[in-house]
Amino acid sequence: MKKKQYTTAPLPFMGQKRKFIKSFKEALHKYPADGVYVDLFGGSGLLAHTAKQHYPNAKVIYNDYDNYRERINAIPQTNVLLAKIRALVNDWPKDKRITGEVKERVLKAIKQHENENGYVDYITISSSLLFSMKYVLNYTDLEKSTLYNCVRMSDYNADGYLTGLDIVSLDYKAIFEQYKDTPNVVFLIDPPYLQTTSVTYKNYWSLSDYLDVLSVLEGQRYFYFTSNKSSIIELCEWVGNRTLTSNPFAHATKLEVNTSVNYNSSYTDIMLFK
């Protein structure tokens, strides 16, 4: 039986590389069919899945640091919960704000499901009840959110999505150290965006974290993903042309002031002087 090839992650995941999949598969032809492909920042697993489908004989390591597989394993229960929500909003206008008694019933159904099963995939549920690209991770945050009737009408399915992958959950540096000298190794590198504050990531990524990732590129075969927001390419070009002999901020005094924009948004002003 022919295995299904996914061109998008089976469950919602911010930052999945579905728009690159066609180009990624075309580029894979330049890499070894029997290679070792290491997805250092596995995310939704879409890159690892695609590499394994493209080269079935390759060894593909998927670093599921965000525990995406837990969400996949919970799909049957997620579908049950979504069916209950569909029934509750059946007569509610599509894409409109859910209010009043219907909202209370929806929240009650979700809380009851969590009490009975011990788990709710709030990211997936968010995609059916919250404004586009907004996610929560728990009931408390969902209860405080504005709900919309954008409930998915079909069930989720991830059959075979993780088949054949070697799944680990480790810091990317530890995995790199393990495989950096492996023959025919290719690293798939899709780190969180610079200064990411998304609730779907475990950690906040600073500039130093982002720059640390660059150390795994030297002397290796790789696929590296970034965005123009990070300006990482321009930075590397600058460093290549103009190397500083020392850190210009060394021994400077650093002062920080927190500034609030509104009740849920703030930023930090920084002053360095020497």
Indicate the pTM of the whole model. Answer: 0.83
Residues 107 and 229 in one domain: no
Confidence of residue 200 (pLDDT cuts 50, 70, 90): very low
61 plus 178 within the same structural domain: yes
Asked whether residue 221 is domain-assigned, the answer is yes
Q: What is the CATH number of the domain that holds 199?
A: 3.40.50.150
One domain, residues 59 and 168 = yes
Please tell me whether residues 117 and 167 are part of one structural domain. no
Nearest to 50 by CA among 20, 17, 25: 25
Residues 83 and 144 in one domain: yes
Highest mean pLDDT among 169-183, 187-201, 243-257: 169-183
Distance of CA 94 to the CA centre of its chain: 28
In a domain? residue 117: yes
Better-predicted residue by pLDDT, 225 or 181: 181
More confident of the two residues 254 and 46? 46
Of 261 and 124, which is predicted with more confidence?
Answer: 124
Range among 156-165, 236-245, 250-259 rated most confident: 156-165
Structure token pair of residue 240: 């290549």
Q: What is the DSSP string of 114-128?
A: HHHHS---HHHHHHH
Same domain, 177 and 132: no
Share of the chain above pLDDT 70, in %: 78
| Residues 167 and 141 grouped into a single domain | no
Position 2 scores a pLDDT of 56
In a domain, 226, yes or no: yes
64 and 192 in a single domain? The answer is: yes
- pLDDT at position 197, please? 47
Q: Are residues 76 and 112 in the same domain?
A: yes
pLDDT digits (tens, 9 = 90+) for 125-136: 999 999 877 899
In this structure, is residue 267 part of a structural domain?
A: no
Count of structural domains, the chain = 2
**DSSP assignment, residue 257?**
E
Decide if pLDDT at 272 tops 60: no
Please tell me the predicted confidence (pLDDT) of residue 214: 79
pLDDT confidence band for 6 (50 / 70 / 90): very high
Answer with the one of 98, 116, 148 that is the final residue of a domain: 148
Tell whether 92 and 193 lie within a shared domain.
no
- The verdict on residue 153 lying in a domain is no
The mean of the pLDDT values for the chain is 85
164 and 52 Cβ atoms separated by less than 8 Å? yes
What are the pLDDT digits (tens) for 16-55?
778 888 888 989 999 999 999 999 999 999 999 999 999 9
Contact 72, 37 (CB under 8 A): no
Residue 25 burial by CB count (10 A; 0-12/13-18/19+): exposed, middle or buried?
middle
Q: Which of 148, 174, 194 is the last residue of a domain?
A: 148
Query: Are residues 189 and 211 both part of a single domain?
Result: yes
pLDDT of residue 254: 63
Give the range of the structural domain holding residue 142, as residue numbers without chain letter.
71-148
Residues 83 and 201 in one domain: no
CA distance 29 to 152: 36
